[in-house]
């Protein structure tokens, strides 16, 4: 998959989970296509930025839970992404919440590192 397509799918997944658009089924399809690092990072980002103590975060976190339990492929990608060296690098150098409102920048940084 090209970096441009990976970016589009990552952004689609982020928007689907954060805003509920596009549909849950397209979110699962996007998660099944993208690199495991992106699946893990998007889920981790949303959990860090949208705290469970905030009632407004409930729909977002519910969509995250549904995604990570939607298919064995997505669950495997999430686990694989967690142990990937790129994820470990990111978490040693950055905080997910520092990308609040800049989820697309997070995706761009990770794709650059994956491709590099």
Tens of pLDDT, residue by residue over 46-71, are 999 999 888 989 999 999 999 988 88
Tens of pLDDT, residue by residue over 74-101, are 999 999 999 999 999 999 999 999 999 9
pTM of the model: 0.92
Percentage of the chain lying above the pLDDT 70 cut: 97
Output the six-digit token pair for 46.
């949303």
Q: How far, in Å, CA of 78 to CA of 86, rounded? A: 13
Distances (CA, A) of 89 to 6, 17, 60, 93, 103: 20, 24, 26, 6, 18
Contact predicate 69/63, CB 8 Å:
no
CA dihedral 87, 3, 18, 49 (to 10 degrees): 30
């Amino acid at each position: 998959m090209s970096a441009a397509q990976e970016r589009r799918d990552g952004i689609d997944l982020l928007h689907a989970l954060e805003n509920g658009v596009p549909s849950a089924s397209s979110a699962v399809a996007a998660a099944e296509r993208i690199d495991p690092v992106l699946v893990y990072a998007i889920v981790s980002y949303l959990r860090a930025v949208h705290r469970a103590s905030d009632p407004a975060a409930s729909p977002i976190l519910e969509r995250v839970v549904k995604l990570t339990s939607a298919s064995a492929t997505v669950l495997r990608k999430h686990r694989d992404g967690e142990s990937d060296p790129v994820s470990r690098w990111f978490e040693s150098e950055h905080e997910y919440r520092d990308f609040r409102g800049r989820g697309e920048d997070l995706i761009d940084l990770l794709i650059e590192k994956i491709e590099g």
